[in-house]
Amino acid sequence: AKSDGKARWAQFDPERNANEVARLRLAASMPAALEREEFYVDYQPLIGLRDSSVVGVEALVRWGHPDLGRLGPDKFIGLAEETGLIVPLGRWVLRKACEQAKRWQDRFGDEAPFVSVNLAVRQSRDPNLVMDVAEILEETGLAPHRLQLELTESAIMSTADEPLDKLRALSRMGVRIAIDDFGTGYSNLAYLRHLPVHELKIAGSFMEGLRDAERADPVDARIVGTLVDLAHTLGLTVTAEGVETQAQARRMAEIGCETGQGYLWAKPGDPTTVTDYIASHLE
């Protein structure tokens, strides 16, 4: 035991310890921040590659921190997953996003985009998930087909104790289900055909090799082509994430991908900016 103590002190690293303290302090301050509504949601358009219409809009959470300034989700979603705060935070994002999508529904009618909301692993395991979604749709008046939920492959696999009952229930309600970051997780292609999924979102990392038309990476191009074919075989639509160049958009359109998302069209923006964007793409 004596040598244990010594070993621990020998490994003590003040810098690492300070980081850990900062992390824990940030985690501890999140519940009050949620209470005070320091979080907000930006929206990024999903563009139809055939006609440039705004098919959907992804909701992306941010934290307007009083001391640290604007924090992106990479700074706090992982922490919120660890502490479990992701469940109430995620529910708050879902409600905000549905309220905003209802405004678009009222203004744009049949041409209104769906709103696509990210679900963390912890949320996909939450026994109240289906009821919460039903309640939020009911209270906001958003049509269920104007809500899409994005789950990563690992979030989908972790709903597996109640063999996909939750996803089926949501799908029966009319809510769309998308697989996020497809191709980066552990992919069991066989399970895909049994999932009530409507859309595959191909991870932005696959766009790298398609950046320039002349210097396209043939392996990346074939992988992406194969993923799109697989999705279509299963009756799913495909969104290409992280599209930054015309060459990428053109290539994805050529191989039959329906939708694109990325800085080429629009960065995530506030509701007013995105509303103007949707309106300007209607004519």
Residues of the shown chain interacting with ligand C2E in the complex, contacts defined by CB under 6 A: 44, 60-61, 72-74, 77, 90, 93, 118, 120, 180-181, 204, 242-244, 261-263, 268
Are 113 and 45 in contact by the 8 Å Cβ rule? The answer is yes
And the tokens for 84? 């479990």
Spatial separation of the C-alpha atoms in residues 206 and 123, rounded to whole Å? 27
Are 278 and 45 in contact by the 8 Å Cβ rule? The answer is yes
Q: Name the residue with the smallest CB distance to ligand C2E.
A: 262
Are 211 and 252 in contact by the 8 Å Cβ rule? The answer is no
CA-based nearest residue to 118, from 82, 90, 154: 90
Name residue 149's beta-bridge partners. 117, 177
Nearer to ligand C2E, 21 or 213 (CB): 213
- Give me the least distance between CB of 169 and ligand C2E, in Å please: 20
* Most distant pair of Cα atoms in the chain: their distance: 76
Spatial separation of the C-alpha atoms in residues 101 and 96, rounded to whole Å? 9
For residue 269, the 8-state DSSP code is B
- Give me the least distance between CB of 126 and ligand C2E, in Å please: 12
Q: Which does 93 bind (CB under 5 to 8 A by kind): ligand C2E, Ca ion, none?
A: ligand C2E
Nearer to ligand C2E, 72 or 141 (CB): 72
Nearer to ligand C2E, 15 or 213 (CB): 213
Spatial separation of the C-alpha atoms in residues 159 and 170, rounded to whole Å? 13
Write out the binding residues for Ca ion, residues 98-127 only, by CB under 5 A: 118
- Give me the least distance between CB of 55 and ligand C2E, in Å please: 15
Alpha-carbon 220 to chain mean position: 23
Are 196 and 167 in contact by the 8 Å Cβ rule? The answer is yes
- Give me the least distance between CB of 71 and ligand C2E, in Å please: 10
How many residues sit in the footprint of Ca ion (CB under 5 A)? 5
Nearer to Ca ion, 118 or 259 (CB): 118
The DSSP secondary structure of 130-169, one letter per residue, reads HHHHHHHHHHHT--GGGEEEEEEHHHHHTTTTTTTHHHHH
Binding mask 219-258 for Ca ion (x = CB under 5 A): ----------------------x-----------------
- Give me the least distance between CB of 123 and Ca ion, in Å please: 13
And the tokens for 163? 């063999």
Q: Is 42 in the site for Ca ion (CB under 5 A)?
A: no
- Give me the least distance between CB of 28 and ligand C2E, in Å please: 20
Nearer to ligand C2E, 172 or 252 (CB): 252
Q: Is 150 in the site for Ca ion (CB under 5 A)?
A: yes
Alpha-helical regions (H) of the chain: 2-11, 14-35, 77-83, 86-108, 121-125, 129-140, 153-157, 165-173, 189-192, 218-233, 246-254, 271-280
Write out the binding residues for Ca ion, residues 165-204 only, by CB under 5 A: 180-181
Q: Which does 268 bind (CB under 5 to 8 A by kind): Ca ion, ligand C2E, none?
A: ligand C2E
- Give me the least distance between CB of 209 and ligand C2E, in Å please: 15
Q: Which residues contact Ca ion (rule: CB under 5 A)?
A: 118, 150, 180-181, 241
